[in-house]
Amino acid sequence: MRRLVWICSLSSVSLLFLGGFIVDNALGTTCSTKKEIVLAGERDVCLLGGPIPIIVRYINHTTGTVSFRDPTKTWEVKLMVGRRKGDPKVVPFGQIFFSKKGDLERRTIKKAAIISLEPNDVYEFKYDVGHRWPELFVPGVNVIRIKDLSDDAETALSNEFEVRIVYDRSTFPMLLTIAANKESTADSLRFANDWIGLVYPGFSIATENLTDIQRDENRRRTVEAGAWWDAHKTDPETLKRIEDLNW
C-alpha cells in the first residue's frame, strides 16, 4: 500500500518540475499534487450485503495549509467501484438535496466541518461503503478508488484497493435485513431482491415509491424467505446455488 502511494507521489513531484500540475503516474492514473488520497481496506474479503469498511487518508503535500470540507459530506468526493474491466460506478459521498416548496425548488448541501491540514498532516476517516451502497458490489474482485473533484484545477485520485466479495451462507440473512429495512434505498432494495431471488427463486419485493401496503407485503415476503432459508440453508441444492454465484 505504501509503495503505491510513494509511486503516485514520486510521479507527481517529478512531473511537477516539468511544469505539469496534473500528471499521469506509472499506473496510468492521475493524482493530485496538493492532496494525496490513500485508500486502504480493513479486510481483503467481505460479504455481499455486509460491511465493507474502508480507510481513507488525506495527506497535505504542500508547504501551506490545505483546507477542505469533510469528505464524507462532500458531493465532489466520489467512490468508484467496478471490475478490472469496464467503467466503474461512481457515487458521491455528499449529497445535493433538491427540495420543492410551492414554486420554489431549492438545492442545498449539508453543513460540513472544514478540515485544515498543515504540511504533511494526515486526516483519516473510516467508512462502511457496503452499508451505504451495497448495490455497487458483486461477487468477485471489486476495485475501489476515491476521487476528489473539489479543486477545479486538479482532480485527486486515490490508489486502487481490491476487495473480494463473497456470497456465502451469511449473506442471505444480511440481504433479508436490507430487504426489510425501511431506510433502504430503491437501489438497495432492488439489489437485495435480485440476489435473494438467485438463491430463493420467485422472491420478489416492491422497490420504488413504496406504499404502506407494499411495505407490509415486503415484510411478509421477507419473513417467508427467512423461514425458507432456515429450512433449506443446508440443502445441497441451496449450497450449490450459492457456490455458483461466486464464479
Partner 1 sequence: MGIVADRKAFFENLSKDPPPPKVEAKSLSDAGNNASTLGGQPVGSTTSPCPQDKFKLINLILTVNAPNDKFVMNDPNRTFEVCATVNYEKSSDPNDLAALPTEVKFTFTDQPSPNTNNTDSFEYISGKYLGKNNDTAAVFWEGHSGNISTVPVTNDATNKKMTGKVNFKPSGVGGDGYKIKAAVQNGAGELTDESHTIVVWRKIKLEAYEMPMQNHVSTYGTKAIMEASFYTPDTFVEYELGAIHNIANTHKVKYIGLWSHSANSQLNWATHPQKLPSETPTASEIADANGPSGAAQTAAKAAIQAKANAWRDRIITAYTSGLDNWATDAGVPVNSLVAIEFEHPKYSAHAPDADSITNEWGGSDFSWLTIDVEGETPHPDDRWIGGVGLSRANCAYITAGDSAAATKNTIAHEAGHETKNQFKRKRFGSGDHSASAGLMDPFGSLDAFTNDEKKILRGLT
The residue ranges that bind partner 1 (CB under 8 A) are 75-76, 90-92, 95-101, 103-111, 149-152, 185-187, 190, 208-209
Q: Of 103 and 237, which CB lies nearer to partner 1 in the complex structure?
A: 103
Q: Of 85 and 100, which CB lies nearer to partner 1 in the complex structure?
A: 100
| Beta strands per DSSP E along the chain | 23-24, 30-31, 35-41, 45-47, 53-60, 66-69, 77-82, 89-92, 97-101, 104-108, 114-117, 122-128, 140-148, 156-157, 161-166
Residue type, 46: C
Helix (H, G, I), strand (E, B) or coil at 213: helix
Residue among 123, 124, 128, 121 nearest 42 (CA): 128
Q: Of 78 and 172, which CB lies nearer to partner 1 in the complex structure?
A: 78
79 touches 90 (CB < 8 A) = yes
Q: How far is CA 166 from each of CA 68, 186, 235, rounded to the nearest angstrom?
A: 35, 23, 19
Minimum distance of partner 1 from residue 148's CB (angstroms): 10
Q: Of 36 and 148, which CB lies nearer to partner 1 in the complex structure?
A: 148
Minimum distance of partner 1 from residue 152's CB (angstroms): 4
Asked whether the CA dihedral 70, 47, 157, 83 is positive or negative, the reply is: negative
Q: How many CB atoms lie within 10 A of CB 209?
A: 7
Cell, residue 226: 427467512
Residue among 42, 39, 40, 62 nearest 51 (CA): 42
Q: Of 85 and 111, which CB lies nearer to partner 1 in the complex structure?
A: 111
Q: Of 10 and 96, which CB lies nearer to partner 1 in the complex structure?
A: 96
Q: How far is CA 13 from each of CA 4, 9, 36, 62, 122, rounded to the nearest angstrom?
A: 14, 6, 12, 11, 18
Q: Of 92 and 140, which CB lies nearer to partner 1 in the complex structure?
A: 92
Q: Tell me how long the chain is.
A: 247
Minimum distance of partner 1 from residue 230's CB (angstroms): 31
Minimum distance of partner 1 from residue 187's CB (angstroms): 5
Minimum distance of partner 1 from residue 94's CB (angstroms): 8
Minimum distance of partner 1 from residue 223's CB (angstroms): 25
Determine the Cα–Cα distance for residues 192 and 171; give it in Å rounded to an integer.
10
Minimum distance of partner 1 from residue 88's CB (angstroms): 12
